[in-house]
Amino acid sequence: MLSGLDKRRLSVDPREFELEEKVVYIGRISKVVKGGKRFRFTAWVVIGDGESVIGYGHGKANEVPSAIRKAVQDARRRLMKVPRVGTTVPHQIISKYKASKVLIQPAAPGTGIIANDKLRAIFELGGIKDVLTKCLGSNNAFNNVIATYNGLLKMRTPEEFAELRGKSVEKILKNRRKLRKVSNAKD
């Protein structure tokens, strides 16, 4: 039996979607050799269809367009479906990658995307319109992108929770509402 995480990764075929790409970073690396300096370029790209699919990739080459092309190919291998509830994420999660931690929280409709420019690209291309994020720990852009991707990969929809527990979706959501009422009463 595949978990929700595996299904989300395996059920995406890049040919089915019209994917947009956003270049998150382009860096120039120089190597000093006998005849002078040799330059190479590295590119980080986020791709998505703007509705439910995202991926990130990294590419290196002697020219910028080649690096971007390689990064897009790499991102196509990492495509996944983004779990959503309306225009936001299903629940709060703190995701870690190396020294970076990213807090991702659902937001009320109309809030918008509260995130830095690198993470904003992920949410925009994933079709998430209302979300709150906070980068904790290291603020390395690449590690934060990967942590966000991993966090979205680990998120579960109410349907997935219901399937795991063998309950109906209504029962899961009813219990969630009860917990909110109890926590609000304590405040």
**pLDDT single digits (tens) 15-72:** 788 899 999 999 999 999 999 999 999 999 999 999 989 999 999 999 999 999 999 9
Q: Please, what is the average pLDDT of the chain?
A: 87
Q: Which CATH class is domain 4-81?
A: alpha beta
Sort 69 into a burial class: Cβ within 10 Å, 0-12 / 13-18 / 19+: middle
Across residues 129-143, what is the average pLDDT?
93
Query: What are the pLDDT digits (tens) for 72-101?
Result: 999 999 999 998 888 999 999 999 999 999
Sort 8 into a burial class: Cβ within 10 Å, 0-12 / 13-18 / 19+: buried
Tell me the pTM: 0.84
Which tops the pLDDT comparison, 183 or 109? 109
Q: Which amino acid is at 110?
A: G
The predicted pLDDT at position 137 comes to 92
The predicted pLDDT at position 1 comes to 43
Domain boundaries, the chain: 4-81, 93-171
Q: Which amino acid is at 183?
A: S
What's the CA dihedral at 157, 161, 163, 167 to 10 degrees? Answer: -120
Which CATH code of 3.30.420.40, 3.40.640.10, 3.20.20.70, 3.30.230.10 fits the domain covering 93-171?
3.30.230.10
The predicted pLDDT at position 165 comes to 84
The predicted pLDDT at position 179 comes to 52
Residue 14: how many CA atoms within 13 Å on its side-chain side?
A: 16
Residue bearing tokens 């495509």: 79
Residue bearing tokens 């299903």: 90
Is the pLDDT confidence value at 128 over 90? yes
What's the CA dihedral at 103, 138, 148, 97 to 10 degrees? Answer: -110
The predicted pLDDT at position 65 comes to 97
